[in-house]
Amino acid sequence: MARTERESKLQKRCIDIVRKHGGYVSKNAQSMYTEIGRADLTICIPTTLKQCIKVLGEDAEIGLYVGIELKRDGHLGEVSDAQKIVGKQIKRAKGMWFAIDDSDIVEALMLKFAGD
């Protein structure tokens, strides 16, 4: 192998590490429809508030991982099995996942966590 490791091998090792520690990981495929510069991986790390304060400090600002599955009004029953599996993986990693058909739910979520 050359001096540098192939990115695909590095990616596989990183995915395995996140999963080993109970996290959720999503590989972000790039295409002409995705935003430029999107990270290769999105991860949700299970942790506690106590540990976050220890690592980041009491006044640190942090983000919460939230997965939103959008459905047309009245079509919440159309969440696929694959979407449900991803939702369970995110929740197991202590992230949040919602299937919604109403933007008011997102508004309420933002107000609850981000404040007025």
Q: Using 50, 70 and 90 to split pLDDT, how confident is the model at 90?
A: very high
Task: With CA atoms as reference, report the closest residue to 65 among 103, 92, 85.
Answer: 92
Question: Which residues pair with residue 116 across a beta bridge?
Answer: none
| pLDDT in the model for residue 1 | 45
pLDDT tens, residue by residue, 25-66: 999 988 888 888 888 999 999 999 999 999 999 999 999 999
| pLDDT in the model for residue 4 | 63
Question: Which residues pair with residue 97 across a beta bridge?
Answer: 67
Contacts of 51 by beta carbon, 8 Å cutoff, 6+ apart = none
Contacts of 27 by beta carbon, 8 Å cutoff, 6+ apart = 11, 15, 40, 41
18-24: average pLDDT? 96
| pTM for this prediction | 0.80
Q: Using 50, 70 and 90 to split pLDDT, how confident is the model at 116?
A: low
| pLDDT in the model for residue 114 | 81
CA distances to 10, 38, 57 from 99, rounded to whole Å, are: 32, 23, 33
